[in-house]
Amino acid sequence: MTRRGLFLSLIGGLAAAPLGDAWAARRDRPGLRYGPDPRQTVEMHVPRGAAGLPVLVVFDDRRGEGRRIARQIARRGFVVALADLRMVRGSGAAMVADAAVATAWVADRAPEYGGDAARLGVLGLGRSADAALMIALDRRYMAAMGRPDLIRAAGALERPPETRRDLTATRPEAYVRAGAAPLWLGGRDQAATMLAARIEAVGGWVQSLVLSDEAGLVADAAVFFGRELA
């Protein structure tokens, strides 16, 4: 089954009504580290009075958008965990491995923040986009965490094009499969469009949005995850 949307109204029915100001835990608060490296941190964004809300793990790419986007999505009725990933020059393997560890870590602690770990999705931003897609498409990562079916939906926002020759290790194109969790792809370039076409070709479930406006992309992502994690 496939879904694909190129443009949509950004006003009517975009997302659930905001739940008010989101409370954000300090990133250096004890217990918000999923690993020993200083970059392996998680920052929680939780609506006031959260109880049984869907959980979205957002992987930051350190360009400054992560916290703003996490708050926007949290206000739409999600418990959002903003996770930092290690970025090793010339290799994305550490980033993908961190994404899997962070996702399992968040799932284990979601109830403490009013989240329902049975309704969990992942969203990668920019350079972290492939990490979110990889742990959803390549089953080995979450299986290694003992949670092969944890991720119910995944997305990528402003996924950059790949320039390396070998795409098999950390590029999701090599792991497209029909039985994967529903995917959302949003951005301004052809990277998302081309991947969406490959997913559709194998009968996968994908929704893509070609749009340059960040607010519109974030709003559409919130609608997608709200529907798939309902």
Query: Is the pLDDT score of 26 beyond 80?
Result: no
d(CA 109, CA 32): 10
Q: What is the pLDDT of residue 210?
A: 86
Grade residue 23 by pLDDT with cuts at 50, 70 and 90: low
CB 103 within 8 Å of CB 134: no
> Which range is least confidently modeled, 135-149, 160-174, 185-199?
160-174
Q: What is the mean pLDDT of the chain?
A: 84
Q: For residue range 104-128, what is the model confidence (pLDDT) as tens digits?
A: 999 999 999 999 999 999 999 998 9
Residue appearing with tokens 């990277």: 191
Q: What is the pLDDT of residue 22?
A: 60
d(CA 59, CA 139): 18
Grade residue 16 by pLDDT with cuts at 50, 70 and 90: very low
Q: What is the pLDDT of residue 15?
A: 35
Query: Is the pLDDT score of 91 beyond 70?
Result: no
Question: pTM for this structure?
Answer: 0.87
d(CA 124, CA 187): 12
Q: What is the pLDDT of residue 65?
A: 85
Q: Which two tokens stand for residue 76?
A: 């739409």
Q: For residue range 128-150, what is the model confidence (pLDDT) as tens digits?
A: 999 999 999 999 999 999 999 99
Q: What is the pLDDT of residue 166?
A: 55
Q: What is the pLDDT of residue 9?
A: 28
d(CA 87, CA 155): 19
d(CA 227, CA 212): 23
